[in-house]
Amino acid sequence: MLVRNTIEEFVIEEVEKQISPEERRDKFFLNELIVTSLNLLPPLYACTERGWIQQRQKIQSTLLEQISNAVQLARAQLHNDRPKFPIPLTLHEIRRSEHCLLQLRQLLDKPDLTWRELPEVLEKKISDHRNPHDFDMTVIQEPKLYNRRYEEDVDFYSYYITASYSFVNVLEGSVMTETHRRVKQMGKSLTPGIKLDDIVCYVLNRLPPQYVSHMLKFQEKLEQTNPEVSKEVHQGVIDSLMRLNSSPAREKKPLPLARFDYEFRQVLPKVEALIKPPKPLSVGNIVDQIEAVLPNPDRLQSKLNQLRLEVCQAYNLDPEDAVLRLKYNRDGSITFHSAQDTTVWIIAEKPYLASYLSLLLFPRLPGIVLTAPGLNNPLKFSRKELFQELATTAAIT
């Protein structure tokens, strides 16, 4: 299933046109500017080639000025009200293959990587990693698959333009879940040929979008039980099913950019055969699983050193006097240990600072642990507790 709000591309282009050089360097501001603008505009989702073309034509003929005004208004709003702890969304929340591609291009040091090339490029990386002494920089061979480069494809621009930004419409998940539930209930009474993405598009285009750009807002939206929105989602799915069920199903071409997502799905079994992950690969975990088979101790230690210095600075601690040491645990959590009890107690009194800085560098962090000689038992904060600390502090300040 692939649905896209066609207006996203135009909003990003307008944001990049309006921002100053200083604003361009502030990634958190850019993400929030994009979602604030999108939430001021009508949703224009498409799941077929025809719908994609029609929505783009509508934008170009009638909505460009409205998009420009929305970005201006969003900028004015954000200069007075920015999120306090803008921890970026991870792939588990965004769930888009283009974001995976961007991160894998960076991880594998191949800026023009295509999905079809991934298994062969990854196999070579794994081989080089396991046999570093056999690696000869002078005999590197390019992958045997000489595909057309993605950047030469006009549709790739629309697929990839969102990859550098962190945002998602939280209603997409709610609508997809409700659609699956209702379709399963209807079973054989459903007209053959009806596609789930047709239903999802129909509903999303009739609900005000709820875009978010950071984890606190994402979790807040998920935890909020809005009876009106739930009712609208439920009724929208029913209405779309009745409408589509009464009309003959037609063969439709998918979104032009869907073929890149299709290539991603096609290579998953090959990548799984290479790295043998504990769970099936998906958009939410493929980067983590590939990174796990290509460990980089130097990079990890560099991030831990950076976190130690940032934590000391945030708590006004002298890095030498604090005697603070950080350890990356097997479960992915981080232990903060100090021979000075006072250092750990200072962090424990305001854990939201360590939480925020840790989550910025380690977005999938499951938790942190505080230890010191004077503590009978370690102080443990789970991922949920870290976000609770941030949410509570953000609400107070």
354-379 tens-digit pLDDT: 999 999 999 889 999 999 999 999 99
CB 281 within 8 A of CB 271: yes
Output the six-digit token pair for 311. 């934590």
Cα–Cα distances (Å) from 163 to 24, 128, 136, in that order, read 16, 28, 33
The C-alpha atoms of residue 387 and residue 99 are separated, in whole angstroms, by 24
**Greatest mean pLDDT among 72-86, 220-234, 290-304, 306-320:** 306-320
The rounded mean pLDDT for the chain is 88
When pLDDT is averaged across residues 41-69 and rounded to a whole number, the result is: 96
Which of 207, 209, 194, 212 minimizes the C-alpha distance to 233?
Answer: 207
* Opening angle at CA 87, ends 69 and 23, nearest 5: 40
DSSP strand pairing (334-338 vs 367-371): parallel
* Other Cβ atoms within 10 Å of 220 Cβ, number: 15
The label of the residue with tokens 């709820």 reads 210
Report the half-sphere exposure of 150 (CA within 13 A, side-chain side).
23
List the structure tokens of 244. 């589509």
Q: Return d(Cα 370, Cα 100) in angstroms, integer.
A: 33
pLDDT at 131: 58
Mind listing the pLDDT tens digit for each residue in 241-259?
A: 777 766 656 668 899 999 9
Query: What six digits make up the tokens of 112?
Result: 């023009």
Give me the half-sphere count of Cα atoms (radius 13 Å) on the Cβ side of residue 254.
Answer: 14
| 397, pLDDT greater than 70 | no
Q: Which span out of 96-105, 182-191, 215-224, 230-239 was modeled with the highest average pLDDT?
A: 96-105
Question: Does pLDDT of 142 surpass 90?
Answer: no
User: For the chain, what percent of residues have pLDDT higher than 90?
Assistant: 66
- Residue with the bigger pLDDT between 304 and 194: it is 304
Please tell me the predicted confidence (pLDDT) of residue 144.
47
Confidence of residue 135 (pLDDT cuts 50, 70, 90): very low
Cα 356 from Cα 365, distance rounded (Å): 11
